[in-house]
């Protein structure tokens, strides 16, 4: 399958590499097609990967990942272009955190909204599924990294079919416990978990931890 990974940071690379490892094709998008990180990704994974602009990645991908900075995701997706997003599943991994005033970060969205909902409103024909944003990128693509048994990946979205597709994809990443929280308003909680994640990270001094919901 062909994927468009929008974002050339650590998350874009982790997701892109995992997709390549699973036999998929990946186009990595950046603001400029000359982006060094995008070029390096394409070189390292040729011929299964290419790089280009956000619009190139969104056009090529049958399924898309938003791995851009939370404060810039709406701009990046506007560059990707409505015609390239329409009808496609977009897995939104981004977090709307504001580090401009240092630590701890604050949220860029009010508690009555979320970045995922903003993206969905801006691109109503796109099927936004929020997932994987509550953990470090190494864990997103390698849940076995934590030896302490099953832990959870949480997701939400308005389109049942899109969530089914993302669930299958997550299973191929190795996830066994996938909790569907319902419609996209659940993204508010998923994104608001991040200030706590950042605090846990600073307490544990490692990003190797995750949510496990005990019932
Ligand atoms: N790091 C993690 O482990 C982790 C875990 C969970 C969730 N997340 C979330 O995943 C997302 C990606 O994180 P990251 O650490 O890989 O990278 P990042 O540094 O947060 O974002 C990098 C990407 O954002 C794009 N970008 C930055 N400013 C932009 C602007 N003004 N307009 C358009 N695009 C812009 C960059 O474009 P160029 O390629 O053109 O430079 C790049 O592709 C973030 O939202 C983050 O909160 C990260």
pLDDT score of 148 more than 90: no
Ligand 1 geometric centre to CA of 214 (Å): 31
pLDDT score of 116 more than 90: yes
Query: What is the per-residue DSSP string for 137-152?
Result: HHHHT-GGGS-SS--E
Name the residue among 119, 114, 79, 83 with its Cα closest to residue 97. 114
Q: Give, using CA atoms, the residue closest to atom 33 of ligand 1.
A: 76
Is 94 a pocket residue for ligand 1 (Cβ < 6 Å)? yes
Express each pLDDT in 161-174 by its tens digit: 999 999 999 999 99
Ligand 1 geometric centre to CA of 179 (Å): 25
Ligand 1 geometric centre to CA of 138 (Å): 15
Element (H, E) at 86: none
DSSP 144: G
Is 98 a pocket residue for ligand 1 (Cβ < 6 Å)? no
Ligand 1 atom at shortest distance from the alpha carbon of 66:
11
Apex 52 CA angle, 88 and 141, nearest 5? 60
Mean pLDDT of the chain: 97
Q: Which two tokens stand for residue 89?
A: 């599943």
Express each pLDDT in 47-106 by its tens digit: 999 999 999 999 999 999 999 999 999 999 999 999 999 999 999 999 999 999 999 999
Q: Give, using CA atoms, the residue closest to atom 14 of ligand 1.
A: 9
Ligand 1 geometric centre to CA of 108 (Å): 15
Ligand 1 geometric centre to CA of 199 (Å): 20
Is 210 a pocket residue for ligand 1 (Cβ < 6 Å)? no
């Amino acid at each position: 399958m062909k994927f468009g990974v929008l974002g050339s940071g650590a998350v874009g690379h982790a997701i892109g590499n995992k997709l390549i490892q699973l036999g998929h094709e990946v186009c990595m998008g950046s603001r400029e097609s000359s982006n060094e990180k995008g070029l390096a990704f394409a070189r390292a994974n040729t011929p299964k990967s290419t790089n280009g602009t956000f619009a190139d990645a969104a056009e090529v991908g049958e399924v898309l990942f938003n791995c851009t900075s939370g404060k810039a995701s709406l701009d990046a997706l506007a560059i990707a272009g409505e015609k390239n997003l329409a009808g496609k599943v977009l897995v939104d991994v981004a977090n709307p955190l504001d580090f401009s005033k240092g630590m701890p970060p604050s949220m860029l969205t009010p508690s009555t909204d979320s970045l995922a909902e903003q993206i969905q409103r801006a691109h109503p024909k796109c099927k936004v599924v929020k997932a994987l944003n509550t953990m470090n990128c190494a864990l997103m693509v390698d849940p076995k990294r934590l030896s302490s048994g099953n832990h959870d990946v949480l997701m939400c979205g308005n389109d049942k079919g899109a969530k089914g597709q993302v669930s299958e994809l997550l299973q191929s990443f190795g996830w066994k416990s996938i909790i569907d929280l319902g419609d996209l308003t659940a993204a508010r909680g998923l994104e608001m978990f991040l200030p706590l994640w950042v605090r846990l990270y600073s307490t544990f001094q490692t990003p190797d931890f995750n949510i496990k919901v005990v019932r």
